Each structure stands twice: as structure tokens, then as C-alpha cells.
Structure 1
Amino acid sequence: MSATDFTSTIKVDQSPQEVFDAVTNVRGWWSEEIEGNTAQLNDVFDYHYEDVHRCKIKLIEVIENQKVVWLVEENYFKFTQDKTEWTGTKPTFEIAEKDGKTELLFTHFGLTSEYECFQICRDAWTNYIQNSLKKLITTGKGEPNANGKPQTENEKKLSEK
């Protein structure tokens, strides 16, 4: 079995600019507890979810209305043997107009089925992209983690471990 990077795609009626603005508004769809800037090249931000997951992310490529690439510089998982599984991986957001709609292709390069966190991370990213980010784009309000409250069933399970 070959390793495949995790991907998730959404299509919306909003413009590439609106999708780009939502993607770079990380507090609006991933977590309200982000520290640092999240929109421009070389911005660095810290994410944490309770004592379960922490990471430091740098924006290494930003092409307005087209692409945003994050580099996970540091990562800590409480629930995996290798606490640094995401370190060096590249969550990537690619925006393109297709058939009168705007398509957002999210690929977490380096997050493969070989990772111990894969199932939990896959489920969490799917929720953040397909649900929270899509709502932020289409309604102006996402469903980020707020004040340490679990967002998904998986996160609820993790915080109970």
C-alpha cells in the first residue's frame, strides 16, 4: 500500500478572494486560541488544543486568491507514540475557479495513513474543512474550537484520555 497525503475538497459559490480571506482567518474556522499572524508570507502562529495538541506553523507560500502553504515547524501530540508526527508536514490550500464555482483543495502533504494520528487527524481535518471552513466561507461564521471546548467527537474522546 502506498502512502497518500490527506486531501479534502469543497466547492462554493463565493469568489476566490472570499475563499482566500476565509482560509487565512484561521481563528474563524480552526481555533479561537491561535497566537500570532495567519495571513502573510513568513507569518508564524501557534495552535493548541488543551494539552492534547500543540503546533507552531509558518506560512511558507502565499499567493493571494490562489494558494496558502503552511509548514509545521514544531508539533506535539499527547496521544501518539511519536509526539512530533506532523513536524515538517505541509498543510496546503489551493484555490481555483472551476465551472462557475470556487474550488478549495486542501492537502496535508506528509499526513499519510502510516501516521498513528491519521484516522483522528483525517476526521478532524474533514470536519474543519467540510464543515467549519465551508460555513465561514458561505455564511461568514465558522465553528472553530472555542476556549478549549472540544469541536469534534474525536477531540472529545482525546480530551478524556
Structure 2
Amino acid sequence: MGDSYTATIEVAADAKRAFDAINDVSGWWGRITGSTAAVGDEFVYIVPGLHYSGFRVVDRVPESTIAWQVTGSFVDFADDKSEWTGTTVRFDIEETPGGARVVFTHEGLAPEIECYDVCSSAWRMFIVGSLKSFIETGRGAPYEFTGAEELTEAEHSELHREAAASARAV
């Protein structure tokens, strides 16, 4: 797709293990507030001072498909701070002879938007590096915040409320 970023990984694990690992967002991307357990669930991912996104699970077929719609976003370095809002993050999983193939697509993350270079590079690092490792070994390389970047539960909850309010406005 010309209007999306896509990355494909082949993993030495079955589709169930890939599906379960993708849904454990904290294990490969970073800390979240909320849930990815069912369609309709919502969660927030935050990089303090740089980026936050609120997501709603819009598709979840065990061992096959996961899709999260971005309900609210803030990208600090872009002129349009909400350019992720309304986009969708998808994972399509299929069994292969050696394990599984995961096709990651961020629908709407297009080359013409300002954050494309930075955001696609970050996705590549997390999908091709961290998620692949997490699926195969149980060890990912999620972004972790410490010191001044570390958010308290109350701060995470407040950002979750802000993203939910933004979602209602969409």
C-alpha cells in the first residue's frame, strides 16, 4: 500500500505464540495503560514529552489478525501533532512451514506525512528487532523509561483519560 508503512517478519514460532506476543505490548514496545484483550478495549502508549497514542482494539481474530485504531495522538516534533489520529495499526499472522509470518501495517502512516521517516524507523526497530525477538525468545527490547522520564500510575491514567476524551471527539 502506498499510503501505509509495512514490515514483514518471519518467526520461528507458531501463529498462536506470535498472536499472544503481539498482544503483550509491554514486552516488545513499551509500557501501556489499558488492555488489548478484546475488541473494544482501549490502551495508551506513551513516550514522555515526545509521543502518545490512544488505541482501540477494532479487530482481534486469534492466531490471525490484530488491529488497533488510533483514537488520539500527540507527536511533539510534527507540525500536525495529531497526525496519527484516525490511522490503524494492523498485524496479519499466517502459519508458514518454518513458523509464522507477521505482516505489520500502519495504515495511514504515509511517506508524505511529516513523521514518516522517524516513525517508520522506530516501527522497524520495534517490529523487526524487538517483536521478532520477543516472539521467538520471550525477550524483547521495549522502550523503558527511568529517572525524569518515568511516569507514575496517576500520570499514565491521566494521559489515558485524555486519549479517551480525544477519541470521543473523533
Superposition TM-score, scaled by structure 2 size: 0.83
User: What do the CA deviations read for 1:13-51 (whole angstroms, capped 9, x no partner)?
Assistant: 20100000000000001112x101123211100111011
Unaligned runs of 5+ in 1: 151-161
Mapped to 2, the partners of 1:148 and 1:133 lie a distance apart of 21
Mapped to 2, the partners of 1:142 and 1:54 lie a distance apart of 20
Q: Which moved more, 1:2-11 or 1:98-107?
A: 2-11
Question: Structure 1 residues 148, 60: closer, same or farther in 2, change over 3 A?
Answer: farther
Contact (CA 8 Å) 1:91, 1:106: kept in 2 or not?
yes
Q: 2:101 aligns with which of 76, 99, 103?
A: 103
Q: Which moved more, 1:85-94 or 1:36-45?
A: 36-45
1:155 maps to what in 2? none
Root-mean-square deviation (Å)? 1.6
Map 1:1-161 onto structure 2 (within 5 A): 3-32=2-31, 34-147=32-145
Unaligned runs of 5+ in 2: 150-170
Matched pairs, number: 148
Superposition TM-score, scaled by structure 1 size: 0.88
Question: Structure 1 residues 36, 125: closer, same or farther in 2, change over 3 A?
Answer: same
Identity of aligned residues (%): 36
Q: Which has the higher helix share?
A: 2
The letter of the residue matching 2:26 is R
Large movers: runs of 4+ above 4 Å: none
